[in-house]
Amino acid sequence: MSAQLLSFTDRGIYCAEGGFYIDPWRPVDRALITHGHSDHARWGHGHYLCTHQALPVIRHRLGQITAEGIGYGETRQIGGVEVSFHPAGHVPGSAQIRVARGGEVWVVSGDYKVEDDGLSEPFVPVPCHTFISECTFGLPLFRWQPQAVVAAQLAAWWQANAAEGRASILAAYGLGKAQRLMTMLPEAGPILTHGAVEETTRILRDQGYRLPPTIRVTAGIDAKSHPGALIIAPPSALGTPWARRFGPASAAFASGWMALRGIRRRRGFGTGFVISDHADWPGLNTAIHATGAERVFVTHGYTTPFRRWLEEQGYEAGIVQTEFGGDEAETASEADLA
Amino acid sequence: MKRFAALFNAMDATTKTGEKTAALTAYFRTAPEADRVWTIALLSGRRPKRAVNATELRTWAAEAAGVPLWLFEESYNIAGDLAETIAHLLPRAEHETDPTLDATLRALIALTGRPEAERRAYVTSVWAGLGPEERFLFNKLLTGGFRMGVSRGLMTRALAQATGVEEAVMAHRLMGDWDPARTRFADLTEEGGSEGAARPYPFALASPLEAAPDSLGPAADWLAEWKWDGIRGQIIARPGAFAIWSRGEDLITDRFPEFAPLQDHLPPGTVLDGEIVAWGGDAPLPFAALQKRIARKTVPKKLLAEVPGHFLAYDLLEDGGVDLRAAPLSERRARLEAMLAALPAGLPLSPSPAALGDWAALTATRGLARDRMAEGLMLKRLSSPYHTGRKRGDWWKWKLDPFTVDAVMLYAQAGHGRRANLFTDFTFAVRDGNDLVPFTKAYSGLTDVEFAAITRWVGKHTVERFGPVRRVVPELVFEIGFEGIQASPRHKSGIALRFPRMLRWRQDKGVAEIDTLDGLRALLRQVSEPGTLRADEVKTGDLPAGSKKKTGALPPDPQDI
């Protein structure tokens, strides 16, 4: 076989020799899934393979599917290739997928971050010849503060609100970010959760991830029953009658996009906490360097400038188009919540 | 700077007026006095001149950040703000410093005109010591682009609360062209105030009238005047001081030397509110003529002869040195007319024509506004005082509906600030035979939801990229509204519009249905040959055809420059 080990099709990244796709966006027979976010784990495939840790949430989200788990680092022959999953540090259970044939190694990063968040299995660089890297935040504008710094900001915000009799409503993506935030906060009061957040939290807690106690918001649970509470909810719940039950409240959004003042103001969140489950600019560069890869394909994010940057750094670089064409402005305006 | 940054962030984090006022009041009570003065200056539009141009900043910042210039530009296109781009791109400070706002601004002012190497050394050394938020503000001050989400009225209220001075009195004390570098906090807030003799009054401002005029009650309570399209201004003629102020509080006395003779004729202790227009002998010239004057600090004789200024007075604010603002408009207007009638002929000053009438008559009068070179009518309650700033209820601007044209979007560019990452700046074309000819840009008029939908559309319909600009498939049709049209040899289309904006996204229309360049040319011919009606025919009392009433009343009005 002389064809490329992985090729880029209109269904997603494809391995002809293994007969599988990685995070495909249209129904295929056999799908390897990096993690449970809905733009990676989609409905309708014949057979799913993901980490044991990612499987429960994926099953919960997709319902009746034929799926199988695999351990981190465990190798498996699929067709003529060897496949293994390695921690990506993005959310609990997330993986990079390594595909090897003979001496040639490719790694698909999925989504990843380099900083250890204390909850997700920490990112491990996987040596390879060709690395397919996300670049959601692939511009030097994006430099995250250490998690401890953001944790202190969050705690101060929560405490100030509580002192003034306001509830604190924190908008965050329901899988990964929401749970990460819980673990970052001091035990300063009750943590209430929107149903969409609580479901995932319960599943992860049952899997053995160490998460603080949370209370699902149901009838009778409000600012009176739980004064000084922190409420974690998906962004879509803000401004709805659901959120108004908490009376006077301060709302904030936790996302890497909050680094940009324009986006922060447009979304009407005065308070934004800059915290992301994606690698920042230094993180992307560090991770790519650590793989030792000579060739890098970039996908999902600021692909055009990031590829040019990598070429100037001496890499052979290309772009993998995603379903949406990888338009930068669109990516940012849709504000990837993770 | 940290304290100032905290104030800025507090303003940025809320849209609630009460919270903003409280934060600002606390700042005015506790910040160093010199910093308070600069904050007042910044919030009332008295920004220092920029010490560094954008090209220099880009170069210095890209090098300090170790980023190639092209990548700096890519980042800028996403952040949509130069100051913010630089604040993010630079490595974090190792040891943060906290200079005062006063020290920072004085250093910036001293920097103006220094050699590049010196300015660069200073700027990069400040960057190296500031946190990202202070850096952002420092950059905004450096480029002259500083803005904070606080109106001048809100700032005045907070200052009034912090000092215990009445709000209207405080507003008056802050007027004029005081220099923050040479002004103490007490000079501004205590009796006496800034530059006494030439100090103007705070301008009264109007709100747009959206409802039908009869919602205002009986027409007999109201005075109507033309809403002129000129420079709103005040003439101050006091013993020892003669000054002309624009609404933006620029001192423009020297730009309009033709008004200098007024100081010999106006009674001492007179303050007039009115509109400076370019004068065609008996009616204003189009605003385009006045624009030639606005740009000039000194006026060549030829231009002075071609485009003479004229002051159409709306109101009398001070008479014989007495502040008249609390008197009813009817009284002020009567005194204004009496005062001006006593002046010798030939001065570039006359009362702006005013009218009374029933709503039907005034509606008909308003329909004539374009022929009079006016934008519509002002409606002012005859019993009202001269308010400080915009107080809803007594003054209304009742503008004509704009001209409209249906056009197709040809280019799209992302906006800045709040609109970074959204395509909001569009270039539009009309049809000229088989060609599409670009003729205007527009940025405003759509909702965030519409801009988001168009942004997604642009992503999928880009034909070509020129840096941040996208050429798109000519498919989306918009109704463009505008206030005026003039010939412009500088533009390919040969025309230029005044105040173009998007009125509607015409999703019901296709590119085959847009208007033509010939249609715009026809409109241009029409407006260039105004009707026979002249402004001076519209004297007090005979404006409304159906009204026999005489007015003798009328006051000031608010216009935007």
Alpha carbon of A250: minimum distance to chain B alpha carbons (Å): 10
Q: How confident is the model at residue B543 (pLDDT cuts 50, 70, 90)?
A: very low
| Amino acid B234: pLDDT | 96
B453 pLDDT above the threshold of 80: yes
Alpha carbon of A134: minimum distance to chain B alpha carbons (Å): 18
Partner residue facing A261 (CB), from B74, B81, B414: B81
Q: What percent of chain B lies above the pLDDT cut of 90?
A: 56
CA–CA gap between residue B188 and residue B183 (Å, rounded): 7
Supply the ipTM of this predicted assembly. 0.91
Q: Where in chain A is the domain with CATH 3.60.15.10?
A: 7-142+278-333
| Residues of B designated catalytic | 227
Q: Which residues contact A236 (CB under 8 A, 6 or more apart)?
A: none
Partner residue facing B81 (CB), from A259, A262, A332: A262
User: Chain A to chain B, count of Cβ pairs less than 8 Å apart?
Assistant: 88
Helix (H, G, I), strand (E, B) or coil at B399: strand
| Crossing angle between the packed helical segments B33-43 and B101-111, to the nearest 10 degrees | 60
Residue B201, Cβ neighbours under 10 Å: how many?
Answer: 23
Residue B30, Cβ neighbours under 10 Å: how many?
Answer: 10
Q: Which residues contact B112 (CB under 8 A, 6 or more apart)?
A: B49, B51
Q: Which fold has domain B2-142?
A: DNA ligase i, domain 1 (1.10.3260)
Q: For A309, which residue in chain B has the nearest alpha carbon?
A: B71
Q: Which fold has domain A147-273?
A: Rossmann fold (3.40.50)
Mutate to test the interface with A, among B78, B86, B89 (most CBs of A within 10 A): B78
Cβ atoms of B496 and B485 closer than 8 Å: yes
Query: DSSP H helical segments within chain A, as ranges?
Result: 55-62, 147-163, 177-184, 195-207, 241-244, 261-266, 281-291, 303-312, 328-333
**Which tens digit of pLDDT belongs to each residue from B138-164?**
999 998 888 888 888 899 999 999 999
| Amino acid B260: pLDDT | 93
Kindly report the CATH number that applies to the domain delimited by B403-528. 2.40.50.140
Mean pLDDT over B30-40 rounds to 95
Taking an 8 Å cut-off on Cβ atoms, the answer to whether A140 and B88 are in contact is yes
Q: Which residues of A touch B418 (CB under 8 A)?
A: 262, 265-266
Rg (CA), chain B: 26
| Crossing angle between the packed helical segments A303-312 and B69-79, to the nearest 10 degrees | 160
Query: DSSP H helical segments within B112-256, as ranges?
Result: 116-129, 132-142, 152-163, 167-173, 185-189
CATH 3.60.15.10 assigned to domain A7-142+278-333? The reply is yes
B531 pLDDT above the threshold of 70: no
Alpha carbon of B119: minimum distance to chain A alpha carbons (Å): 24
Kindly tell me the burial class for residue B391, based on how many C-beta atoms sit within 10 Å of its own C-beta (0-12, 13-18, 19 or more): middle
Alpha carbon of A329: minimum distance to chain B alpha carbons (Å): 5
**Which tens digit of pLDDT belongs to each residue from B9-18?**
888 878 788 8
Backbone angles phi, psi at B412, to 5 degrees: -135, 145
Q: Where are the domains of chain B?
A: 2-142, 204-397, 403-528
Q: Splitting chain A (338 residues) into consecutive groups of 10 residues, what average pLDDT does each group show? A: 82 95 95 95 96 97 95 96 98 98 96 97 98 96 94 94 92 94 88 95 97 92 87 89 88 91 74 93 97 96 94 95 50 41
**Which tens digit of pLDDT belongs to each residue from B205-240?**
999 998 899 999 999 999 999 999 899 999 999 988
Q: Which residues of B touch A328 (CB under 8 A)?
A: 78
Amino acid at B65: A
Q: How confident is the model at residue B539 (pLDDT cuts 50, 70, 90)?
A: very low
Residue B158, Cβ neighbours under 10 Å: how many?
Answer: 25
More confident of the two residues B417 and A223: A223
Q: Which residues of B touch A143 (CB under 8 A)?
A: 88, 92
Cβ atoms of A251 and A265 closer than 8 Å: no
Rg (CA), chain A: 20
Listed by number, the residues of chain A in 286-325 with a beta carbon closer than 8 Å to a beta carbon of chain B are 302, 305, 308-309, 312, 325
B510 pLDDT above the threshold of 80: yes
**Which tens digit of pLDDT belongs to each residue from B38-49?**
999 999 888 888
Backbone angles phi, psi at A263, to 5 degrees: -70, -40
Q: How confident is the model at residue B196 (pLDDT cuts 50, 70, 90)?
A: low
Q: Closest Cα partner for B294 from B356, B350, B231?
A: B231
pLDDT, chain B, mean: 87
Q: For B419, which residue in chain A has the nearest alpha carbon?
A: A262
| Amino acid A141: pLDDT | 94
Partner residue facing A332 (CB), from B65, B78, B417: B78
Partner residue facing A259 (CB), from B88, B416, B419: B88
Listed by number, the residues of chain A in 111-130 with a beta carbon closer than 8 Å to a beta carbon of chain B are none
Cβ atoms of B380 and B227 closer than 8 Å: no
Please identify, in words, the CATH class of the domain defined by B204-397: alpha beta
| Amino acid A224: pLDDT | 83
Alpha carbon of B66: minimum distance to chain A alpha carbons (Å): 10
Q: What percent of chain B lies above the pLDDT cut of 70?
A: 93
Taking the model in full, what pTM does it have? 0.75
